[in-house]
Each structure stands twice: as structure tokens, then as C-alpha cells.
């Protein structure tokens, strides 16, 4: 069987993404055929600064964006513009069916902002590109966490949770992730509200769970016998990730960013990945940042997240 073709957006060239790509090229070629969205001149500049030789079969694309001088660890509009252009090129390759999927290396959100990019990250952009409700799922085979609200201030979370949107989110997630066991849904408040004593958002969350369960089972009658329930009732967040509870679930739905990602990264930081669901293309990413503090400093990088992001594409 031929290997899947994957466009790899190179991320912020002032960070560690290009080092990951160069050091792990031969490893990823065992499972996919990579196409790197970087100009040859920028690749050569980065390789020289890293003192890493460029593999002979390291395929690149020309005319990504204006070239610039790489400055290790610096937030700049030039690096932000290049990172965004690299991402856009990867999406174009997938949209035109020239590749089977895309994998994104880490960007710096401030650099995107300095470059005039209106999006806060890859997922926001993908929603706009495809006019689709992309779903952000992070983790590894041991545990995946899905975020209902993402990059918004904590004070805005409660007002962004409503029955209609959460119902749609639960239905979309179930049909795209296709989990084989009950999905754990977290409550918003301490003690999951204590029956309304500490907040009543869980009442609405439960309504959305009931709505979604009904819709999913009406569309798929066979699911009635698959397992007893598709979703849990709103779970108490501070016990949901304890060992005795965690052993029963592989997928969690968190109401806000840190509620889900703090425990996930405490448990599986090195191996976690980011997957965009509910899109017409498959996109994965590393689940770490640009690591400006160690970029171009001859530091041995942990490559597990990158390799797992590639593995996910190869096996899905």
C-alpha cells in the first residue's frame, strides 16, 4: 500500500518546529510521505543555524512567503507571516487533494497578530476556511480531551455555554470521533453545581446531553445496544480525572480550556497531540509551543508529540 501524502506546515521558524522536521524526517517517512511547506532558501538557512544536514529526499515548496533572517527565540511579524503562509499552503494542498492530510508545527500567536493575521490559531482559521464547526480534540490513545469553549477569557465561558450550541457540538463530536464507549462530560461548576446550589449551568448541560443522545440514537438505532449511555451526566470536574474514574473513559468533553488541558498535560504532556475534527480534511498538530527558550541551542528535543501526530494521520 502507498503511504499517505502529508503537507507539513513548518510553524514559526524562530522556534523549534524546523528542528523537529529535520531531525525526524527519516522516522516519519516510515509511515507517511511528507511535503514540507517551506522555501528551499529558508530551509537551508535554518539547517545551517542548526548545523543539521538536509536529507536528500526532503521535499519542499517554493514561493511560500517573503524570506527573512531567522532570529532564534524572537517574536516577529516576519516569522508570523511566514508561519501563516506555510499553513495556508498546506491547507491548499489538502483542499486540492494533492495530499491526504496536513500536520502543523507550532506557531506563536503573538507573531501571527503582529503579522496582521486575524485568527488566534489554526483551528479558528480552519473554521473560516471551510465554513465548518471544527472541533478541537487533544490527547493520546490513553485519553482524549475535547474543548467546548477554547481560547476565550474565563469570565466569558459561562455565557458561551448554551443548550443549542452544546447539543450540536455533542452530536458532531460523536459522529466524527466515533467513540466506542461512554463519553465523559464535565460540569462547569465546583461539585457540578450541587443540584443548583453552586450554579445552575449543569441543568442546561444535562438538557443538551439528553437532546444529543436522542438525535444520535434516532439517526443510528443500532447504538441503543452498543453501550448503556452515549454520554455521562455532568461529572464533578475535580474527581473526573482520578485514576479510579479515568480508567472507565477515553474521551472527555471539557467546558473550557484549562479544565480539560491542565489534567491532560499533567498526565500525558509529552505524547499529546491536537486533532481537528468535523472538517473535510484531516489535520493534526503537536500539542506544544514554539519553545523559543531552547530554539537553535543544540538541545535534544522530545519528538513524541510530533511522531504521534504523524502516526494518527497514518492510522486514520
Please list the residue range(s) of the chain that carry CATH number 3.40.718.10. Answer: 1-132+279-316, 136-271
All three cell numbers of 174: 460523536
Cα–Cα distance between 204 and 189 in angstroms, integer? 12
Strands 184-185 and 251-254: parallel
Distance linking the first and last C-alpha atoms of the chain? 14
| pLDDT the model gives residue 284 | 98
Cα–Cα distance between 161 and 201 in angstroms, integer? 8
Cα–Cα distance between 311 and 291 in angstroms, integer? 22
| pLDDT the model gives residue 224 | 55
| pLDDT the model gives residue 164 | 97
CATH entry, 1-132+279-316, from 3.10.20.30, 3.40.718.10, 3.40.50.920, 1.20.950.20: 3.40.718.10
Cα–Cα distance between 303 and 271 in angstroms, integer? 8
| pLDDT the model gives residue 83 | 98
Q: In the CATH scheme, what is the homologous superfamily, with its name and number, of domain 136-271?
A: Isopropylmalate Dehydrogenase (3.40.718.10)
> Across the 316 residues of the chain, what is the mean pLDDT of every consecutive 10-residue run?
94 98 97 98 98 97 97 97 98 98 97 96 95 95 94 92 97 91 95 87 96 91 66 96 94 96 93 96 96 96 96 95
The H or E element spanning position 304 is helix 304-315
Cα–Cα distance between 252 and 142 in angstroms, integer? 11
Give pTM, 2 decimals: 0.91
Cα–Cα distance between 295 and 275 in angstroms, integer? 25
Where are the alpha helices (H) located in 24-162, listed in sequence order? Answer: 25-28, 40-50, 77-95, 109-114, 122-130
Amino acid at each position: 500500500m502507498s503511504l499517505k501524502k502529508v503537507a507539513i506546515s513548518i510553524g514559526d521558524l524562530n522556534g523549534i518546529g524546523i528542528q523537529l522536521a529535520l531531525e525526524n524526517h527519516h522516522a516519519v517517512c516510515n509511515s507517511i510521505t511528507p511535503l514540507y511547506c517551506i522555501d528551499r532558501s529558508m530551509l537551508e538557512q535554518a539547517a545551517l543555524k542548526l548545523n543539521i544536514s538536509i536529507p536528500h529526499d526532503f521535499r519542499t515548496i517554493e514561493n511560500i512567503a517573503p524570506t527573512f533572517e531567522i532570529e532564534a527565540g524572537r517574536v516577529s511579524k516576519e516569522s508570523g507571516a511566514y508561519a501563516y503562509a506555510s499553513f495556508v499552503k498546506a491547507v491548499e494542498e489538502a483542499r486540492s487533494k494533492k495530499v491526504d492530510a496536513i500536520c502543523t508545527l507550532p506557531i506563536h500567536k503573538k507573531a501571527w497578530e503582529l503579522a496582521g493575521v486575524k485568527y488566534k490559531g489554526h483551528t479558528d482559521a480552519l473554521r473560516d476556511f471551510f465554513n465548518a464547526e471544527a472541533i478541537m480534540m487533544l490527547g493520546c490513545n490513553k485519553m482524549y480531551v475535547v474543548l467546548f469553549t477554547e481560547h476565550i477569557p474565563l469570565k466569558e465561558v459561562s455565557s458561551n455555554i448554551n443548550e443549542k450550541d452544546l447539543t450540536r457540538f455533542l452530536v458532531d463530536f460523536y459522529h466524527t470521533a466515533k467513540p466506542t464507549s461512554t463519553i465523559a462530560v464535565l460540569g462547569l461548576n465546583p461539585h457540578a453545581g450541587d443540584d443548583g446550589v453552586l450554579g445552575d449551568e449543569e441543568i442546561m448541560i444535562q438538557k443538551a446531553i439528553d437532546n444529543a443522545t436522542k438525535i444520535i440514537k434516532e439517526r443510528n438505532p443500532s447504538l441503543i445496544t452498543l453501550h448503556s449511555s452515549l454520554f455521562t451526566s455532568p461529572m464533578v470536574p475535580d474527581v473526573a480525572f482520578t485514576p479510579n474514574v479515568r480508567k472507565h473513559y477515553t474521551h472527555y468533553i471539557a467546558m473550557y480550556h484549562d479544565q480539560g488541558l491542565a489534567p491532560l498535560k499533567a498526565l500525558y504532556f509529552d505524547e499529546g497531540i491536537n486533532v481537528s475534527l468535523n472538517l473535510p480534511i484531516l489535520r493534526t498538530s503537536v500539542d506544544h509551543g514554539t519553545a523559543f527558550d531552547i530554539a537553535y541551542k543544540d538541545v535534544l528535543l522530545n519528538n513524541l508529540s510530533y511522531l504521534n501526530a504523524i502516526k494518527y494521520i497514518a492510522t486514520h
